[in-house]
Chain A
Amino acid sequence: MSFNINDYKQIAGSNEIEEIKLVAGRLEGVRMHNVNSTPSGGGVAEILARLIPLLRGIGIDATWDVIRGSEDFYQVTKAFHNALHGEKINLTDSMFEIFEHYTNLNLDLFDKEADCYLIHDPQPVGLIRKRSVSPASKWIWRCHIDVSRPDESIWGFISEDIEKYDATVFTMPEFSRPIPVPQFLVTPSIDPLADKNKELNGKTVMQVAEKYDLNPERPIITQVSRFDRLKDPIGVIKSYKLVKKRMDCQLVLAGGGAQDDPESCGVLDEIREAAGDDPDIKILELPPFSDIEINALQRASAIILQKSVREGFGLTVTEALWKGVPVIGSAVGGIKAQVINGVTGYLIYSIEGCAHRIEELLRDPEKGKTMGRNGKELVRSRFLITRHLKNYLLLMLALLKTLNRDLFERQIFMLSA
């Protein structure tokens, strides 16, 4: 794993790196403190582990802490997380008491001085109550989840703290809510140098395909997702079966192992039943740390599907586009920001629509290649970690420096040398 910004020059372009350094130059020595709830596992920790060293490498004094908690706290925050997503959860007084208890515990321990605080997700949201630690500092609440349709009692509870922040950051405009605090937009990103996304040679791709009994000479259609009904794996199989009546292809459904998740086990049983005895359907339960294999499976595919019923940003779509593979995805969540209909893939609304688009791309592989090229460039310009880094720098600039000017009917900030 690389943590040097210059290592991204070949991929993001030397001009992109130069622009990052130009912006970082205006923030040299700024202390940026990140807080989240877990040191590893999950997308937030994964991206912070990469961003913090990159920020430090360009002169930002970036630090990262994790709040303290115990089993009961994390059970409560998981319930809160689900309720914020709109699930009907029985929220009890004792849950709110446990949350407050750990918030107060963390407030007692919190004494980090910084110029800018980036507080990730709802678990540590209450730390804003300690803003007296650095009165002149700016506080940003970075929300990585969709809170557009939350349980109102939990939203009412956490919004008391959210409204004390100087700014908030959301992943998609549709994931936000009306709040009296500026809301910025920072989409997630992928690291092109990580195992899951780095270039692989043809031999590795071939070996992985053969390992899973796939024939690289025949078209492979893949959906990489956890085994969850929200990803509509049964719909994927039905679409494949419609296509298979007329065209030759293989289907891969690849996801994490489901041993510890009873719900996933149930879904897997349904998937196996739907697949029947078709030898061209491969249901792959991949163990943790299978990044190279996922990378290879994506690269071996002619088409990637993401037929989700509901989706966050959908980084599996980003990963596929980065590998130059066209994506057919449902018009939900972040898929809409990545699949430009007819340009990087197709947006679909039904099993039949999905099958129709698969056939279209299988019949016209050149169209798929063009879409794949477009998709790669889309990711290069909008969804790489370097853009993520630049967004955070600009966010700090907007809040820490007095630059605001209305010019030419727009908000333009002039950064002099």
Chain B
Amino acid sequence: MNNELKNNSGFTPFEFYTEVQLDEVTGHSVINLKELLEKLKMVSGSVIYCHTFRTMLLHHFITEGFKNDFAHWVIDALNEEELGERLVSIDLIEYTAIRAYREKMTQIIEEYLARNPAAATRNAREERRFFFCSTYSFVVTTGKIAHTLEEFANQLHRCSNNSIFFHFIEARLRVGQPINDFSIWLSQSLGKQGLAEKINKLDPYIYTLEQLKEKISELVEQEL
């Protein structure tokens, strides 16, 4: 399956997948930065994913950078604006592994606590405790397949936001490189390096997922 998901590339048709998700309660919760730091180091990758990448998907209709539950909790419940800003500014799509993203977050919190030790045990109100959840991801083949650029354009129009997220943003975690599934296929299978690069340069933070789909479609249609 690893290869099945990774190899949406090469000289093969493009198969559109989508991803649906269910959350699990982990039983872990924290009330201050010291506890947050400890838990961030020990929870599973599915927990980190749930509160970062998945948050970005859930808030796909807002272009105000909702991509990190931890950062928002730090700002909103702990009133640690500076730390929150630093956490929220970690560029999610630069990361190609959850491990690296987790390390960056813990490094930022550790640096902040070294400068502001009193902040470590400053508690949020009890009702603003942070609860960790974990995401189960179910990847589904949609039956949408493209052999040509024209077919790709047609299928893209019918794609869900979940599918765009899966292929354009989350792809980096699967591929292990800062590139998306569409660009890989367009480049490797159709030889459209220029188009692939233009698509890969689209900034997902300034668009909703719906707008992102439109932008990709526009670029594809210009090539037709």
**Shortest CB–CB separation between residue B95 and chain A, in angstroms?**
11
Q: Is the CB of B160 within 8 A of A382?
A: no
The answer, among B18, B61, B137, for a CB contact under 8 Å with A374, is B61
Chain B residues with Cβ below 8 Å from A413 are 136-139
Which residues of A3-19 are within 8 A (CB) of B? 13, 15-16, 18-19
Q: Could you tell me if B61 and A414 are in contact, using CB atoms closer than 8 angstroms?
A: no
Q: Are B45 and A412 in contact (CB under 8 A)?
A: no
Q: Do A184 and B141 contact each other (CB < 8 Å), given the known contacts A173-B133, A332-B127, A408-B173? A: no
Q: At the interface, yes or no: B122 with Cβ under 8 Å from chain A?
A: no
Q: Does B99 contact A (CB under 8 A)?
A: yes
Asked if A343 and B22 sit within 8 Å, CB to CB, the answer is no
When distances are taken between beta carbons in the complex, the residues of chain A under 8 Å from B23 are: 184-185
A411 touching B137 by the CB < 8 A rule? yes
In chain A, positions 160-198 with a C-beta closer than 8 Å to chain B are 170, 173-174, 176, 178, 182-186
Q: How many residues of B contact A (CB 8 A)?
A: 55
Binds B, one of A124-132, A229-237, A394-402: A394-402
How many contacting A-B pairs (Cβ < 8 A)?
Answer: 137
Within 8 Å of chain B (Cβ to Cβ): is A22? yes
Q: Mark A353-390, 1 if CB is under 8 A from B, else 0.
A: 00000000000000000000010011011100000001
- Do A417 and B141 have beta carbons less than 8 Å apart? yes
How far does the alpha carbon of A409 sit from the alpha carbon of B101 in the complex, in Å?
12
* B24 adjacent to chain A (CB < 8 Å): yes
Assembled-state Cα–Cα distance A416/B20 (Å): 14
Report the Cα distance A91→B132, complex, angstroms: 34
Q: Please, how many angstroms separate the alpha-carbon atoms of A230 and B135 in the complex?
A: 33
Q: Is B118 among interface residues, defined by CB-CB distance under 8 A?
A: no
Tell me what chain A mostly uses at the interface: helix, strand, loop, or mixed: mixed
Contact A331 B125, CB 8 Å, known A394-B136, A410-B49, A414-B5:
yes
B14-26 CB mask vs A (1 if < 8 Å, else 0) is 0000101111111
Determine whether the beta carbon of B24 is less than 8 Å from that of A184. yes
Interface residues of B in 139-177 (CB under 8 A from A): 139-143, 158-163, 173-174
Report A245-301 residues with CB < 8 Å from chain B CB: none
A409 and B97 contact, CB distance less than 8 A: yes
Q: Does B214 contact A (CB under 8 A)?
A: no
A416–B138 alpha-carbon span in the complex (Å)? 10
What residues of chain B lie closer than 8 Å to A391, measured between beta carbons?
22
Which B residues touch A347, using CB under 8 A? Answer: 76
Decide: A331 and B128 in contact? CB cutoff 8 A.
yes
Q: How far is the CB of B46 from chain A (nearest CB, A)?
A: 5
A415 B139 Cβ-Cβ under 8 A: yes
- B34 close to chain A: CB less than 8 A: no
**For residue B99, which residues in chain A have a CB less than 8 angstroms away from its CB?**
409
B45 near A409 with CB under 8 A, answer yes
CB of B160 within 8 A of CB of A18, answer: yes
The distance from the CB of B109 to the nearest CB of chain A, in whole angstroms, is 20
A-B contact pairs, 5 of them (CB 8 A): A19-B18, A170-B25, A185-B25, A407-B2, A409-B97
Q: Please list the residues of chain A having a beta carbon within 8 angstroms of any beta carbon in chain B.
A: 13, 15-16, 18-19, 22-23, 170, 173-174, 176, 178, 182-186, 331-332, 336, 340-341, 343, 347, 349, 374, 377-378, 380-382, 390-391, 394-395, 397-398, 403, 405, 407-417
